[in-house]
Amino acid sequence: MIQLKNIDKIYKTEAENVHALKSISLNIEQGEFVSIMGQSGSGKTTLMNILGCLDNPTSGEYLIQNSNISELNDDQRSALRGLLFGFVFQSYNLLPRLSAIEQVELPLIYQNVEDRKIKAAKALDMVGLIDRLDFKPNQLSGGQQQRVSIARSLVVEPKVVLADEPTGALDIKTGKEVMSILKNLVREKNITVIIVTHEAVIANFTDRTIVISEGKIIKDKKNK
């Protein structure tokens, strides 16, 4: 489903060139639950941005369903993001003015989808927030906000959900709840879920852990 071939990413700054990713090659299948682990500065977020079409690699090939997307332009990447990917962020990234259901509707607005309310309500139901449709972010707990952002990532019926430190701002108990929601998605909807984390406990929830250090994959193992 996802193939990376010899991906390099170099950030040019005035002082020096930062070689964030060095010749990364990787295959991820449909329906896999994968964690990418690494310390800060290891390049895991850069990898995630490239996987999520938020950024282009400097060199190498990125294939999704066997088509090369490493040279798409900005608008094409936007469209691909909207269609294939759902994003979950550490800091939830909800818009402060919108209610839960409106947050979830947001991706649908940019795809001109019909029946947005119904689809958004269904997605919120999946994460157990059907009774919080009209709540604004400041009326929700951290775990609830993260579930809204998961619902937002699901509403477009994505092939892949990318989660950047989804439990980073949560206590252990709610963090585990969020992880079990993500795990269910993989089981029930055959969605590929890729999470970025630095916590081994969280990584152990997934089926496969890829460890990155200094821009290289140093370990790629199946979890029990």
Partner 1 sequence: MNLKDLIIISLRAIASNGLRSLLTTLGIIIGVSSVIILMAIGQGAVKGVIDELNALGTNLIFIEPGFSEEAGQRGAAGSAITLTREDGEAIIEAQIPNVARITSMIDFGAQAITSSNNVGVQVVGTESMYSFIRGLGMSEGRFLDENDVEKKSLNMVLGYTISQQLFPEDSPIGKNVRLSIAGGRIIFNFRVVGVASERGAGVGVDDDNAVFIPVSTLQARISFIKNPTGETNVNSIIIQTLDNADESKIKEDISQVLIDRHKVSEPDFIIESQKDLIGAAAGIANILSLLLGGIAGISLAVGGIGVMNIMLVSVTERTREIGIRRAVGATKGDIIKQFVWEALTLSSLGGIIGIIIGMIITFLIDGRLSFDEFTVRTVIQPWSILIAFAVSFVIGIVSGVYPAYRASRLDPILALRNE
Three-class SS state of 150 = helix
Rounded least distance, CB 221 to partner 1, Å: 29
If one asks whether residue 62 binds partner 1 (CB under 8 A), the answer comes out as no
**Which positions from 114 to 143 touch partner 1 by CB under 8 A, shown as an x/- string?**
------------------------------
According to DSSP, the β-strands at 59-64 and 67-68 are antiparallel
Interface with partner 1 (CB under 8 A), residue from 107, 137, 175, 215: 107
If one asks whether residue 201 binds partner 1 (CB under 8 A), the answer comes out as no
Rounded least distance, CB 223 to partner 1, Å: 28
Interface with partner 1 (CB under 8 A), residue from 17, 111, 141, 223: 111
Interface with partner 1 (CB under 8 A), residue from 95, 172, 201, 218: 95
Interface with partner 1 (CB under 8 A), residue from 4, 36, 94, 182: 94
- The β-bridge partners of 10 are 19
- Distance from C-alpha of 217 to C-alpha of 38, rounded to nearest angstrom: 9
If one asks whether residue 93 binds partner 1 (CB under 8 A), the answer comes out as yes
Long-range contacts of 204-208 (CB under 8 A, 24+ apart): 205/33, 205/35, 205/176, 205/179, 205/180, 206/33, 206/34, 206/35, 207/32, 207/33, 207/34, 208/32, 208/33, 208/34, 208/35
- # of chain residues touching partner 1 (CB under 8 A): 26
**Which residue number, 48 or 212, has a Cβ lying nearer to partner 1?**
48
Q: What angle do CA 47, 48, 53 make, to 5 degrees?
A: 100
**Which residue number, 209 or 215, has a Cβ lying nearer to partner 1?**
215
44 Cβ neighbours under 8 A, 6+ residues apart: 36, 37, 38, 196, 212
End-to-end CA distance of the chain: 23
Rounded least distance, CB 142 to partner 1, Å: 16
State both tokens at 55. 């950024």
Residues that bind partner 1 (CB under 8 A): 49, 52, 54-55, 74-75, 78-79, 81-83, 87, 89, 91, 93-95, 97, 106-107, 109-112, 152, 156
